[in-house]
Structure 1
Amino acid sequence: MTDRTDSAHHGEHGEAKSQRSYHHLDFINRELSWLAFNQRVLEEAEDSTNPLLERVRFLSISAGNMDEFYAVRVAGLVDQVRAGEGKKSVDGLTPTQQLETVRHQAWRMQQEQQRIWHSVRAELAKTGIVIESVDKLHHSDKEWLDKYFEEQVFPVLTPVDLNPTHPMPFIPSGGQALVLRLRDVDTHKHKADGLVVMPPQIPRFIRLPDKNGQIRFIALEYLIAHYTKRLFPGLHGVPTGMMRIVRNLDVDLEEKAEDLLNTFEKAVQDRRHGVCIHLEVEGTIPKHLVRKLGLERDEVVLLPKMAGMGDVKQLIVSDRPELLFSPFHAAMPQRVLDHDGDCFAAIKEKDLVVQHPYESYDVVVHFLQQAAQDPNVLSIKQSIYRTSHDSPIVHALIAAVEAGKSVTAVVELRARFDEEANINLARALEARGVQVVYGLAAYKTHAKMILVVRREGERLQSYAHFGTGNYHPSTAKIYTDISFFTCDPVLVEDAARLFNYATGCAKPHLQALCCSPLTIRSTLVELVQAEIAHARAGRPAQIWLKMNSLVDPQLIELLYDASQAGVSVKAVVRGICCLRPGVKGLSENIEIHSIVGRYLEHARVFAFGNGEGLPSPYAKLYISSADWMKRNMDRRIEAMVPITDPAAHAHILNQIMVVNMRDTLRSWKLLPNGKWERMAPGNEPLSAHDYFMAHPSPAYGEEIAPVGSESRTGVAVQES
């Protein structure tokens, strides 16, 4: 592949020096952009083209996202306000202004969730999935409930009357409690306020025995409310409301801690008792409860239908497949099958690109398992940011140790909300003989890499895997990511040096690979500046980007410079985007889309035309673990991998990126005013998700043909 740029070699200290000063109005607020993303997720719950139970899933996901938003982002703003910090965001808002605006938008979204739930629940009832009321149940059902309550629920309940001798019980983040007004049975006088914390061990929606073809549930709070006499003998308990708490769940870690594992383990334990940051109330609760939780009025949200909307995912039953997406079973990559499952032989033939979940993530697991079993393999190194419980990847690493191989795992303890799992993982791996390293205290290790060293004859041959996603076999079924396998001598040598950087701190001299915090930013600066030079010289100048978040102010300003120079910039940004596209004189040559649908877009791909229009075999093409955020550029160990093999290059650019750019059925477009609107299907409607399910492993080097006729599913497919 010919190099058509005149840019300098990758430097370590490149800064995005903009050609002009930009105003805060040129940027979109990060927190509001995230809320806009979650609004797009919520819209899927109302989209009638999605199966009904999948709409329930989207509703649950949007609620879970809101929990994390409150627990981390809103909590961070509250901390800034309480500390009296006045530093403005890139769009010119103080922490106080952001907090006020964000709370209002979040409140509106939660009210929207309530409205959609009311509609979806009615549709569920029409299809025979019903949430029952205890009062309307048949006598036989009540007998079943009596037994269930006595055997499964009553033993784990702790009813509390909230008087001075019974202080407020501890409720964890996400915990819920039923609030009651307790009256004397004889005088009916108010005696106390009662509280029953909902036991997390019991499902929120309890499935009753099916009846008359209906799938029936009873909400746990309805069940508890029905048996208040058992909980408060001699008192009449009248339920008045449900309350649900969200706590500050961010973890601060002392970077100079002598024992990183033990220090972080304590920090995670302390987090459980983080201060209350948000309270959802369904119905009414006494004001003194709010005071006991230390909450202000604007930290309480009143909900008309249901607190804890994330729990509706428990209604997604497998015995109604017609209300779910059609099952999709990913196959192993054809080249691996052609080599009878020998990953090393398939990779040695040429670089291998695998797109998940359309091609099975089992290929990554199989690669490790084969390495563990192969007597010629000497060592395995792997970075782990997130993985699943009882992961087959972890079992493969342990099997490799037991087979006498040298195994090193770089485990990142600070993977948010997976900290405890990673602590347990680290201890388990150490106990089995794996050399566990926690990386650099100042930087999260976010790069996704595996390096296998194998003896082949008289020489050692290394094989590397670079990914855009985590080594998590469960999420790999719903996250779209790219796996890249190679034995290219330059890339595998760079991978070894990057592992040594993560474990030994010495700055690596990399030949082709780029890494944060050293060279990704400077390389991106050079690549964008090269496109600006092409535009000014009258040559084609294009940039295609795909990522989760576009936030870094310096890189955004550089893209503004590129637009003004005549560079065409197109980006697919799943989540947060602080760049304001399509503004005359600022960004009229920039177009931002977001794909939201069955799968969660997670791959990071960066393409630069290199003096040619895209797609082009001369383009500079990279995959990465890093989004364009300051933390990914400056505070994490990340990898950005150049794709130079012609077949792999064509696979990613001509196929994966082209289809993403052409998607209209699941895409949204970002407008200059910061709002998002659904794209019109157009004359050639295309869903990237449906397309790749139908074409999971296109022929290498084959360019995507013009979109042809529509299929029976309404998805345009390539003509054969």
Structure 2
Amino acid sequence: MIDQAYDPNVPLLEKLRFLAIASNNLDEFFRVRMHNIHTLVDEHKSERRTGYSGKEILGLAYEYNRANILRQYAAYDNLIKESADRGLFHLMKYHELTDEEKKTVKKFYNKKLVPRLDMQRFAEEYKFRKNLYFLMKTPKYNYVCPIPEDMDRLVETGVDNHYILIEDVMRHCSKDLIRKYKISKMIVFRATYDKNKPYDFLDKNLTDEQYLNTMINYVDTRDLREIMRVEFSGEDEQKGREYFSKLLGINKKGVYKIPGPVDLKFLGGFFKRYKTHKDMVFPKFKALEWNSSKNILQYLNNSPIFVQYPYDSFSVFISYLEAAVNDPKTTKICITIYRTEENSDLLRLLQEAAAKGIEVTAVVELRARFDEVHNIEVAKILKKAGVRVLFGDKVNKVHSKICLALHADGTGYVQIGTGNYNAITANVFSDVSYFTSDQRYIDDATKFFNYLVTGEKKPYQLFATSPNGIAEMVVKNIKKATAAYLRDGQGEVFMKINGLTDVEIINAIYAAAEKGLPFRLIVRGTCSLKLGVCGPKEDIRVKSIVGELLEHSRIFKFQYGNSHTDIWISSADMMTRNLERRVELAVPVVEEKPRRQLLKIAKMFWKDTENSYFMNDEGTYAKKDEKHGFSAQQSWINRLEWRKYIKTN
């Protein structure tokens, strides 16, 4: 994300937005993942995939993050200057304000900010529940004062397009406060806590009611845990790191000096204010919708539909569900829900279906991290409407994306996707979705939901599911492709995933690569696979695609010599938690029309150079310098100009 802020093809405001997203992503990492490293340190253990000790990993994380911070803030400085040079906006320092502007911000300070100040003497048990704080040093005590979160960090100065950060206003207008408390130093900082409280109550024997009540209690009692990171500005780096390390009892490798404003998420405020400047944002495009003159279910009776969000609108799924709700033949609707937006059409339609007497079963996964409260509310709303609400596997998260509409005779329709049923994220997440009436998929989907309801497992004709089944399928198909490659001298494995960390999958790739089988891997996020370790026959290429849209689809392609090729879509990444501790779904696309579409999509993704970062043997990523690069995302956006609806012929 940070690198996007250096890309000359990315508009100015989008660069600022990418810097804000990078800050948000890093926050999530420290809140959710960093505790794993601290656990290794505390327990004097090593990470099993790399052999590194906890202390070594913590040191590497610090150095890597420190380098990222320097690069992020160098981009920030350049973009703030460019914004001013282009007459868009000015982010001012206090000393740059005119006398009239200083009067304006002092008035803001006295009338709006002073009544909200809440200075408290620092104590060891103090919990930093707000985002930003001032630490105020006095001869006798230290005080902390939160910066109000419900107030905009961007304060208008009274001159059009001139802003100053709220912490700068407070720092320079608080002379009375300084005199009263004899404050010698004011330091802006924030503490990031571990919020990944374990679900240590999981038990497959819990009833749905017990499970719901336990989850409600979990949310109500979840509190801030250990501090994972401290960021500060306005202080010498070495002294500041030592000071905060001792003050808050955190390893120095968790303390970072920030060369600018702490937390750049406020840059999203500039994006919202100025996004009407069309030359400074990505051009808007209108996603394709279903042709409302055609009944989508009648179409599915004769042909499957394959769509790719956000080029195709999420409303296609809503059209499918609405048609199923209004179809007199529909007797059952079954769906898995992981994350959905507030006031969604999905929930409205499920409520309508229940009101019509359709038997609706919604498997609502309450353990969608930080969406637990929303999902509990979703469960309550649906249950009140007469929907049969289940929580599926009480031990393994239900992360699958599937919606089944059944007739009394067992025929019907099914939709299977790689992304959540969320109309908002579907505008920026690149995912695929497959709609069909093929009885093989209907029968497997029926078995899948029966498993979620009863726990009874039956063999599938097409589906592969986790726990364990998807890993087994992938390893089996890699071995099959390897055998065909040795026989024919042809073959390939393609994967587009968000993470590759599972040891079993990586070892299967290594074993096949030693024999020469080519691998083409697109891994958006964490990749634990190393290049250059499989000998002279190794032909593995790894890249990550980062562009205007967030790549989220999971696609697997297995070419078996010159005989045939299988291509799959899945909700699962090649990460141990997905493969062993979640209920995930992978399906082969066997119908010819969507199969051809998906093969083209995979080919376009691998052809991409414009937004691709290629991994080298050292594990670092870089773009290839090409005069005429190719962007898969922009190609699909450009094609929307001559497509009116979802293609139906």
2:384 corresponding residue in structure 1: 431
CA distance in 1, matches of 2:33, 2:59: 13
Q: Which residue of 2 aligns with 1:451?
A: 404
Q: In 2, Cα distance between the equivalents of 1:436 and 1:157? A: 45
SS at match of 2:33: helix
- Counterpart Cα distance in 2 of 1:101 and 1:62: 19
The one-letter code of the counterpart of 1:126 is D
SS in structure 1 at match of 2:531: coil
**Which residue among 43, 48, 51 is the counterpart of 1:92?**
51
In structure 2, distance between residues paired with 1:171 and 1:670: 39
Map Cα deviations across residues 258-300 of structure 1 (whole Å, 9 max, x no partner): 6222323333344432121110011236977654533233321
Counterpart secondary structure, 1:581 = coil
Alpha-carbon distance in structure 2 between the residues aligned to 1:107 and 1:297 = 12
Residue number in structure 1 paired with 2:638: 694
Aligned to 1:200: 149
Among 168, 171, 178, the residue aligned to 1:225: 171
Structure 2 CA distance for aligned equivalents of residues 422 and 473 of structure 1: 16
- Partner of 1:585 in structure 2? 535
The one of 258, 266, 286 aligned to 1:303: 258
SS at match of 2:450: helix
Distance, in Å, in 2 between the alignment partners of 1:600 and 1:244 is 28
Quote the residue 2:618 is aligned against: 673
Instruction: Choose the corresponding residue for 1:490, options 421, 440, 457.
Output: 440
- Deviation digits for residues 663-712 of structure 1, max 9, x if unmatched? 11111111122121212326x5210110010124699799xxxxxxxxxx
Q: Is residue 58–residue 253 contact of structure 2 (8 Å, CA) maintained in 1? A: no
- 1:348 is aligned with what amino acid? N
Give the Cα–Cα distance (whole angstroms) in 1 for the partners of residues 355 and 114 of structure 2: 47
Shift of 1:467: 0.5
Q: Which residue number in structure 2 is paired with residue 61 of structure 1?
A: 21
1:255 aligns to 2:205 (yes or no)? no
Normalising by structure 1, report the TM-score: 0.83
Cα deviation, 1:469-497, whole Å, max 9, x if unaligned, reads 11111111111100100111110111111
1:484 and 1:627 map into 2 onto residues whose CA distance is 18
Cα deviation code 1:344-403 (max 9, x no counterpart): 122222111001111111111222233334444322211111112222222222222233
Distance 1:265 1:586 in 2: 56
Provide the residue aligned with 1:178 in structure 2. 134
Instruction: Name 1:281's counterpart in structure 2.
Output: 232
Pick from 293, 296, 299: which aligns with 1:346?
299
5+ residue gaps, structure 2: none
Aligned to 1:123: 82
Change (3 A) 1:136 1:672: closer
- Match status 1:606 vs 2:556: yes
Amino acid at match of 2:68: M
**Which range is displaced more, 630-639 or 413-422?**
413-422
1:461-476 correspondence runs (5 A): 461-476=411-426
C-alpha displacement of 1:177: 0.2
Quick check: 1:53–1:323 contact (8 Å CA) kept in 2? yes
Distance (whole Å) between structure 2 residues aligned to residue 136 and residue 243 of structure 1: 23
- Work out the CA distance in 1 between the residues paired with 2:225 and 2:390: 28
Q: How has the CA–CA distance of structure 1 residues 380 and 210 changed in structure 2, closer, same or farther, with 3 Å as cutoff?
A: farther
Which structure is richer in relative contact order (CA contacts within 8 A, separation 6 or more)?
1
What's the CA shift for 1:498?
A: 0.8
Asked whether the 8 Å contact 2:305–2:436 carries over to 1, the reply is yes
Q: Which amino acid aligns with 1:73?
A: R
Amino acid at match of 1:281: F
Going from structure 1 to structure 2, the CA distance change for 1:575 and 1:270 (only over 3 Å counts) comes to: same
Could you tell me whether the CA contact under 8 Å between 1:229 and 1:237 is conserved in 2? no
| Match of residue 68 from structure 2 | 109
CA distance in 2, matches of 1:209, 1:645: 63
- CA deviation string 1:431-469 (max 9, x = no partner): 3332221121221101100111246xxx45311110011
1:226, distance to aligned residue in structure 2 (A): 3.9
Contact 1:225 1:239 in 2 (8 A): no
From the superposition, tell whether residues 433 and 587 of structure 1 become closer, same or farther in structure 2 (CA, over 3 Å).
farther
Supply the AA of the counterpart residue of 1:366.
S
Partners of 2:537 and 2:506 in 1: how far apart?
10
SS at match of 1:686: coil
> Are 1:647 and 1:701, in contact at CA under 8 Å, matched by a contact in 2?
no
The amino acid across from 1:327 in the alignment is K
Q: Residue 113 of structure 1: CA displacement?
A: 1.8
1-side partners of 2:364 and 2:111: how far apart?
42
Aligned CA distance change for structure 1 residues 441 and 460 (closer, same or farther; 3 Å): closer
Paired residues in the alignment total 634
What whole-Å deviation, never above 9, does each CA across 1:52-89 have from its counterpart, x for those lacking one? 111111111111111122222221111232133x2432
Residue among 328, 339, 346 paired with 1:386: 339
**Structure 2 equivalent of residue 481 of structure 1:** 431
Distance change (3 Å), C-alpha of 1:153 and 1:503? farther
The one-letter code of the counterpart of 2:219 is V
User: What amino acid does structure 1 have at the position aligned with 2:312?
Assistant: E
**8 Å contact from structure 1 (residues 178, 239) kept in 2:** no
- In the TM superposition, residue 313 of structure 1 has moved relative to its aligned partner by 1.7
Q: Which stretch shifts more, 339-348 or 296-305?
A: 339-348
Q: 2:332 corresponds to which letter in structure 1?
A: S
The two structures, once aligned, show a CA RMSD in angstroms of: 2.6
**DSSP 3-state at the match of 1:280:** strand
State how far apart, in whole Å, the 2-side matches of 1:344 and 1:198 are.
Answer: 54
Once the two structures are superposed, residues 515-574 of structure 1 have per-residue CA deviations (whole angstroms, 9 ceiling, x without a partner) of 111522222222111111112212422222111112211111211222222322212111
Given residue 132 of structure 2, which amino acid in structure 1 is its aligned partner? Answer: Q
Structure 1 unaligned spans of 5+: 1-40, 183-189, 703-720
- Secondary structure at 1:469 match in 2: coil
- 1:643 aligned residue: 589
Q: Alignment identity in percent?
A: 27
- The 8 Å contact of residues 471 and 579 in structure 2, kept in 1 or not, is answered as yes
Do the aligned residues in 1 keep the contact of 2:499 with 2:524 (CA within 8 Å)? yes
Alpha carbons 2:178, 2:184 under 8 Å: kept: no
SS of 2:542's partner is strand
Contact 1:560 1:587 in 2 (8 A): no
Distance of 2:246 and 2:218 partners within structure 1: 26
1:264 matched residue in structure 2: 215
User: What corresponds to 2:267 in structure 1?
Assistant: 312
Residue 609 of structure 1: SS of its match in structure 2? strand
1:647-662 matches, cutoff 5 A: 647-653=593-599, 655-662=600-607
Check conservation: 1:53, 1:324, Cα contact below 8 A.
Answer: yes
